[in-house]
């Protein structure tokens, strides 16, 4: 994960950085980048910098944290926004932006660690990581995966932008995909299903994938069982 801290108070920025580094052993925090003003972060956004989480001081001079949040909701709607403020009255503005969370200054260690742990755990559920040859890691966002095929000990993952093929433990991967609500649509195929028709299913971007007659009845049952469950509200 990449995390941006936008805070004009140098001491407060260092405290937040310290808290995050304490969490780096448990969570995959790759980079923490500090910004001392809303304008400097805005310029970074203009350069296509992207972060998984933004810790924003609401009461920044010039471009405020709330204004930055409004920009980020347009440019990067899936990013996590965590607002930090001295003033409780600003909290309603944060919720209007569907922020992940807000924290009141002075930010206490236990509150910060508890809040960010929950957000990080929810964030990590959105990704799946594979260990490739030479210990290289491949991390994919689950919602970007269109379909997964197994073929003689290999896994073929088709995403919005690429196709990945490598050897894997087929039994373990099938169990993991089932746990993530991928549905088996054909022998060796698992997909993120959005709509079911008589002889096919539609995945992301309205991509059509054929369904075997044998699998269709079971697929319909699993599809309806999943959507009949109460769904938890999104974190962001």
Domain 2-124: CATH superfamily, name plus number: Response regulator (3.40.50.2300)
Residue among 194, 193, 176, 115 nearest 140 (CA): 176
Q: Do domains 2-124 and 128-228 have the same CATH topology?
A: no
pLDDT at residue number 117: 95
103-126: per-residue pLDDT in tens?
Answer: 888 899 999 999 999 999 988 888
pLDDT at residue number 233: 38
Average pLDDT on 6-28 reads 94
CA distances from 213 to 174, 182, 186, 187, 226 (A): 20, 18, 9, 11, 21
Q: What is the DSSP letter of 77?
A: T
pLDDT at residue number 138: 87
Q: What is the rounded average pLDDT for all residues in the chain?
A: 80
pLDDT at residue number 236: 29
End-to-end CA distance of the chain: 16
Average pLDDT on 145-168 reads 87
Highest-confidence segment of 19-23, 130-134, 135-139: 19-23
Q: Pairing relation of β-strands 101-104 and 80-85?
A: parallel
Could you please report the per-residue DSSP string of 164-185?
EEEE--HHHHHHHHHHTT-EEE
Percent of the chain predicted with pLDDT > 90:
35
Q: How far apart are CA 130 and CA 155, in angstroms?
A: 11
Contact (Cβ atoms closer than 8 angstroms) between residue 205 and residue 146:
yes
CA distances from 176 to 45, 54, 179, 211 (A): 35, 30, 5, 21
Class of domain 128-228: mainly beta
The residue extents of the domains of the chain are 2-124, 128-228
Q: Give the global pTM.
A: 0.69
pLDDT at residue number 189: 61
- H helix runs in the chain, sequence order: 10-23, 38-46, 65-75, 91-96, 109-124, 170-179, 213-228
pLDDT at residue number 230: 46
pLDDT at residue number 231: 45
Confidence of residue 13 (pLDDT cuts 50, 70, 90): very high
3-state secondary structure of 125: coil
The total number of residues written for the chain in this structure = 236
Q: How far apart are CA 218 and CA 190, in angstroms?
A: 13
Q: What is the DSSP letter of 134?
A: G
- The token pair that represents 167 in the structure block: 């050897």
Contact (Cβ atoms closer than 8 angstroms) between residue 206 and residue 160:
no
């Amino acid at each position: 994960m990449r995390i941006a801290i936008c805070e004009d108070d140098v001491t407060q920025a260092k405290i937040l950085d310290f808290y995050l580094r304490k969490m780096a052993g448990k969570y995959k925090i790759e980079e923490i980048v500090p910004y001392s003003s809303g304008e400097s972060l805005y310029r970074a956004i203009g350069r296509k910098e992207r972060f998984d989480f933004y810790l924003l001081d609401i009461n920044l001079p010039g471009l405020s944290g709330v204004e930055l949040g409004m920009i980020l909701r347009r440019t990067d709607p899936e990013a996590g926004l965590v607002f930090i403020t001295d003033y409780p009255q600003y909290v309603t503005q944060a919720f209007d932006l569907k922020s992940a969370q807000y924290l009141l200054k002075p930010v206490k260690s236990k509150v910060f660690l508890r809040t960010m742990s929950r957000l990080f755990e929810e964030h990590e559920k959105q990704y799946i990581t594979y260990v490739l040859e030479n210990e290289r890691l491949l991390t994919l966002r689950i919602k970007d995966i269109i379909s997964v095929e197994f073929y003689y000990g290999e896994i073929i993952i088709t995403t919005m932008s690429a196709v990945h093929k490598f050897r894997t433990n087929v039994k373990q991967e099938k169990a993991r995909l089932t746990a993530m609500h991928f549905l088996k649509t054909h022998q060796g195929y698992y997909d993120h299903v959005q709509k079911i028709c008589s002889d096919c299913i539609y995945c992301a971007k309205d991509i059509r994938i054929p369904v075997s007659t044998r699998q269709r009845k079971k697929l319909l049952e699993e599809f309806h069982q999943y959507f009949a469950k109460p769904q938890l509200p999104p974190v962001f």
